[in-house]
């Protein structure tokens, strides 16, 4: 399917920040752009703002002056909806209200030509519901740009229940031609990003609620071990606790209050207290000129063991054997048993697997890392039954590798591991239900929320059974359905040729 021709007009309804950004994207792609708002003054101001941005781009050498002058002459405010009659594509970016949007599109149908595409930029409403009542719902779809639209590459191209494939394909080709990275998805609550991202926040909040670790430590572990750019506490303070919680509750309600998407009571209390994040001066953390952000818990220095035994295949943590030898720790390996690192005091160091230290005689768990060589912090968990010597040896071992160590509570799945496992599970389920392809979900999560890897990329790296096994164990210890691995995740192991028995 071919993209909308550059000679055709693109109209944007809603002259706020998002509408201006979308207008700028279409304008610089070569279209004539009309900007409409129910308040004509806002439309005129918005068009002027876009023109100013284009001129500043030229002044900074980011755009050819001739191109900037041409572009500035191709955007204009529209005084009334009738002025949008020749638009080949109309993108709506008005208030998130079903009634308002449906009335707008009903009016637009009376104006635009039969071949024009109608698109909503909604991030939370159902595209299918917005199309209900339209005479031609087949040409209606979602084009969810991320803010700021001129800078962020991702666009979710959302097909409602009645959207024609040709319309979705044409919109996809158009956005791709604009220099964006479009991903296709079905009309599901949260689309791709807001659906799949829920565990990144939810698991961190859950660890906090379980008294496993404080917000600063959880954030530090996810950044410095998991490779995420920002921790969830820091990020939700930036987004706004009220905004983030509203999205979580919307997805939860839309999925008929599935335990997979249960909101956080701690976050609810934060919102009720008015601590909304940066915009209110206090969220999970304090802000302001005199505010001091809390430091993550970091263990004091301990002596590293001189030697260890690596028992079995450490799987995702296999690089540790080489790192230990490079650090001067003698490593003996045995293929039978495990997987764990045997410490001199007879304690065991085990990669997070969804179980707890209290179940074993003398075990310290260590968390998953994106890259154990590059990680600068590792989380350890132990129970009250873990010996002081074993915990000290585990701390000293990772300190010898140049890592800072955070000791957290005896939380099954720890921090990075349970978060990644849940991301993998939600992705497998979404793919199986036809929401989007695994590749598009990976692209959306890397570009939309800056994840170091897409969930399917994590899955491939960690092994087909890793996430299933961890969630299976976690579900046994935290029953209720939240951690029950999906049937899709179970099937993936067999699809990859795994014929082993289900983990007990």
> Which phi and psi angles does 11 have, rounded to 5°?
-115, 145
Contacts of 110 (CB under 8 A, 6+ apart): none
d(CA 123, CA 101): 13
Q: Give one word for 425, left, alpha or beta, with left for phi > 0 and alpha for psi -120 to 50.
A: alpha
Across 327-399, where does the E strand assignment appear? Answer: 330-334, 340-342, 348-351, 363-366, 377-381
d(CA 316, CA 296): 25
**Sheet of 307-311: strands edge to edge?**
330-334, 307-311, 340-342, 348-351, 363-366, 377-381, 404-408
Q: Give one word for 414, left, alpha or beta, with left for phi > 0 and alpha for psi -120 to 50.
A: left
Contacts of 483 (CB under 8 A, 6+ apart): 354, 413, 418, 422, 471, 474, 475
DSSP state letters, 77-89: EESSGGGGTTEEE
**Sheet of 117-120: strands edge to edge?**
75-78, 32-36, 9-13, 87-92, 117-120, 140-145, 154-159, 181-186
How many CB atoms lie under 10 A from the CB of residue 420? Answer: 31
Q: Could you list the active site residues?
A: 123, 144, 156, 194
């Amino acid at each position: 399917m071919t993209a909308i021709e550059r000679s055709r007009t693109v109209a944007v309804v809603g002259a706020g920040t998002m509408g201006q950004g979308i207008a700028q994207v279409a304008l610089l792609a070569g279209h004539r752009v009309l900007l409409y708002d129910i308040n004509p003054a806002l439309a005129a101001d918005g068009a002027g703002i876009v023109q100013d941005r284009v001129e500043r781009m030229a002044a900074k050498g980011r755009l050819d002056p001739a191109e900037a002058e041409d572009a500035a002459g191709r955007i204009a405010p529209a005084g009334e909806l009738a002025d949008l009659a020749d638009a080949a594509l109309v993108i709506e970016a008005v208030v998130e209200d079903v009634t308002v949007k449906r009335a707008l599109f009903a009016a637009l149908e009376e104006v635009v030509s039969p071949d024009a595409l109608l698109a909503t930029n909604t991030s939370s409403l159902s595209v299918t519901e917005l199309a209900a009542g339209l005479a031609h719902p087949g040409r209606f779809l979602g084009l969810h740009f991320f803010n700021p639209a001129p800078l962020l590459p991702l666009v979710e191209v959302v097909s409602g229940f009645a959207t024609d494939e040709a319309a979705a394909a044409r919109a996809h080709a158009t956005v791709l031609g604009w220099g964006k990275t479009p991903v296709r998805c079905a009309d599901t609550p949260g689309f791709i990003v807001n659906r799949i991202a829920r565990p990144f926040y939810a698991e961190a909040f859950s660890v906090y609620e379980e008294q496993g670790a404080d917000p600063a430590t959880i954030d530090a572990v996810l950044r410095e071990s998991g490779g995420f750019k920002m921790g969830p506490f820091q990020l939700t303070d930036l987004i706004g606790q009220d905004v983030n919680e509203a999205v979580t509750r919307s997805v939860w309600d839309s999925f008929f209050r599935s335990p997979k998407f249960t909101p956080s009571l701690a976050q609810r209390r934060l919102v009720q207290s008015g601590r909304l994040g940066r915009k209110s001066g206090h969220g999970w953390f304090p802000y302001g000129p005199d505010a001091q952000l809390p430091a993550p818990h970091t263990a004091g220095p301990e002596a590293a063991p001189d030697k260890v035994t690596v028992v079995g295949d450490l799987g995702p943590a296999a690089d540790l054997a080489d790192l230990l030898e490079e650090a001067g720790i003698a490593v003996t390996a045995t293929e039978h048993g495990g997987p764990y690192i045997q410490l001199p005091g007879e304690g065991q160091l085990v990669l997070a697997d969804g179980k707890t230290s209290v179940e074993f005689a003398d075990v310290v768990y260590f968390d998953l890392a994106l890259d154990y060589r590059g990680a600068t912090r590792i989380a350890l968990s132990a129970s009250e039954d873990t010996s002081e010597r074993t915990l000290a040896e585990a701390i000293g071992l990772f300190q010898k590798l140049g890592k800072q160590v955070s000791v957290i509570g005896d939380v099954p799945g720890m921090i990075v591991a349970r978060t990644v496992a849940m991301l993998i599970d939600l992705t497998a389920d979404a793919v199986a239900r036809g929401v989007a392809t695994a590749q598009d979900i990976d692209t959306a999560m890397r570009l939309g929320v800056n994840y170091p890897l897409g969930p399917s990329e994590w899955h491939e790296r960690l092994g087909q059974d890793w996430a299933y096994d961890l969630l299976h164990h976690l579900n046994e210890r935290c029953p209720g359905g939240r951690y029950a691995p999906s049937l899709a995740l179970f099937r993936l192991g067999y699809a990859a040729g795994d014929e082993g028995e289900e983990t007990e």
